[in-house]
Amino acid sequence: MQFFFMNVNFDQINEVDYWIGKRNFAPIFYGQSTIRQILEDDGHNLKPLALKDAKSFLETMTDKRDCLIVSIGNEYIYFFSQNGDLVELEDYKGEIVKGCVIEIVKKVKIKDTPLILASIKANRYLSSGTFKPLSLDKNFGNIKAIEYVLSQ
């Protein structure tokens, strides 16, 4: 199983609790760019790093990989997996929402998780993007903490 970390921020505000917790939907925004434009790298106005993150999310959800995604809200950490096809939703605050329905595997209070997991956003690489893979060579402690929390 592959692990990913996902930030759900809109205008620099954490919206994990709204999208993941209430709507059971994993979104990315990126303005008026469509799924097709991002995947085909044609007709969007995204900068290279934004395009890389958006494309990584869309390709992962298109391939329906066996993966677990972790997102941190204001009070909870959500562990979830894909449970639907990629779609584009209605306009949200001037942006096209791209994403998929998810299934929450586990929801845990941040204070009840190992510190290395609760502080995952302190990692500049992970906190500065939207969707990042976690690897054993770079994120060993985070992955072990995820496995520990899921086994409880």
Phi-psi region of 6 (alpha: psi -120 to 50; beta: other; left: phi over 0): beta
CB-side neighbour CA atoms (13 Å) of 109: 2
Name the CA dihedral angle for 126, 120, 28, 39, rounded to a multiple of 10 degrees: 40
Tens digits of residue pLDDT in 90-145: 788 989 999 999 999 999 999 999 999 999 989 888 888 899 999 999 999 999 99
| Distance separating alpha carbons of residues 91 and 66, to the nearest angstrom | 29
- For the cut 90, the answer to whether the pLDDT of residue 87 exceeds it is yes
Contact (CB, 8 A) for 76 and 108: yes
Tens digits of residue pLDDT in 8-28: 999 889 999 999 999 999 999
Task: Please report the pLDDT score of residue 101 as a whole number.
Answer: 96
- For the cut 90, the answer to whether the pLDDT of residue 82 exceeds it is yes
Query: Facing residues of 108 across strands?
Result: 77
pTM: 0.93
Helices (H), the chain: 16, 35-39, 48-63, 115-118, 124-127, 136-151
Contact (CB, 8 A) for 11 and 94: no
DSSP state of 75: S
* Encoded tokens for 136: 């054993």
| Distance separating alpha carbons of residues 70 and 96, to the nearest angstrom | 23
Tens digits of residue pLDDT in 35-79: 999 999 998 889 998 999 999 999 999 887 789 999 999 999 999
- For the cut 90, the answer to whether the pLDDT of residue 88 exceeds it is yes
| Distance separating alpha carbons of residues 41 and 51, to the nearest angstrom | 8
